[in-house]
A = this chain, B = another copy of it.
Amino acid sequence: MATVTELLQPVEQDLETLLSDLRSLIGAGHPILQAAAEHLFSAGGKRLRPGIVLLISRALSANGELTARHRRLAEITEMIHTASLVHDDVVDEASTRRGVATVHSRFNHRVAVLAGDFLFAQASWHLANLDDLEVVKLLSRVIMDLADGEVKQGLFRYDTGQTFATYLEKSYCKTASLIANSAKAAGVLSNESSEHLDSLYHYGRQLGLAFQVVDDILDFTGSDQQLGKPAASDLASGYLTAPALYALEEQPKLAGLIEREFSGDEDLAQALELVRASRAIPRSRELAETFAREAREALAWLPESPSRRALIELPEFVLGRLY
């Protein structure tokens, strides 16, 4: 099983350049933001999102070289992603993310709002200056989906009546939209046919959904240490993900525990037991596997190259986190 560093090897140098460019772009002349930028663009994030844009860009390039506009698109993708994380951490009152202190807990929520706005603003400015209206539309759709997903997530807390479709829509908005639309945008900048653009979008969408379902499974199966946050924290906060929704179908008793917001001492532990005793985890795994397979199949047409191989292996890598 490849590690993420091995997978991203074809664009390793590109990612280094991108992160150092982002640090200086955001920090330049603004001491308050500089510390936040150092924090955001140095800490151990996997940079999967810009990595995917860069891999697709290289895979689509006849000579394997990246254009300045493809690089800029990857930067914009990372800016939007980071901005939305910083603001979501304020909205969700999260104090750590993957074991690292969030901006609002390390600095304060005022710096977090400012840093997020600054990143969104830079992203929208650079986006406009890519001079491609279709790319502007794709990425502005992402910004809208991210805000929409964050609102939706809050709306359906502890709501045991929500449909599985609602969960998938929220996952699309919060995770898959950015990967899908930025993958397609890389294709737009490479003048791909509309058929290829659709398949790039589909690859990103299914990969993003696989990624989210895997994350949601790990919330139930991982330890605090592996997750960098308390295990089952999604469920405890009332966010009902694939495993919880599948378990609700089998274990009617679970609904009561959720609806009273785990107010009893043993409620959360009991809910976890109900989920684990059900077929929820294996079914969630099957769902993630389906999304991963669909992602892989979407790129069958790509010409052979190291970047293509990495893209095709990525869905498998995402599933690999489960084992």
Chain A positions near chain B (C-beta within 8 angstroms): 30-33, 84, 87, 90-91, 93, 109-110, 113-114, 116-118, 120-122, 124-125, 127-129, 131, 133, 136-137, 140-141, 143-144, 146-148, 150-151, 154-155
Q: Are B140 and A125 in contact (CB under 8 A)?
A: yes
Q: Are A141 and B125 in contact (CB under 8 A)?
A: yes
Contact pick for A110, options B90, B133, B147, CB 8 Å: B90
Q: Are A124 and B121 in contact (CB under 8 A)?
A: no
A203 to chain B, nearest CB (A): 23
A127-B155 contact, Cβ under 8 Å, with A113-B87, A150-B117: no
Contact pick for A122, options B110, B125, B129, B144, CB 8 Å: B144
Q: List 24 A-B contacts (CB under 8 A).
A: A30-B155, A31-B155, A32-B154, A84-B117, A87-B113, A113-B113, A113-B116, A114-B151, A114-B154, A116-B117, A117-B120, A117-B146, A118-B148, A118-B151, A120-B120, A121-B140, A121-B147, A124-B140, A124-B143, A125-B141, A125-B144, A128-B136, A128-B140, A129-B137
A144-B124 contact, Cβ under 8 Å, with A90-B109, A91-B114, A151-B33: yes
Query: Which residues of B have CB within 8 Å of A93?
Result: 110
Query: Which residues of B have CB within 8 Å of A151?
Result: 30, 32-33, 114, 118
Give bound CA distance, A133 to B136, whole Å.
9
Query: Which residues of B have CB within 8 Å of A148?
Result: 118, 121
A119 to chain B, nearest CB (A): 9
Query: Which residues of B have CB within 8 Å of A109?
Result: 90, 109, 113
Q: Pick the most buried of A90, A110, A121: most chain B CB atoms within 10 A of its CB.
A: A121
Q: Are A91 and B118 in contact (CB under 8 A)?
A: no
Give bound CA distance, A268 to B33, whole Å.
30
A137-B128 contact, Cβ under 8 Å, with A33-B151, A114-B91: yes
- For A84, the closest partner residue in chain B by CB is B117
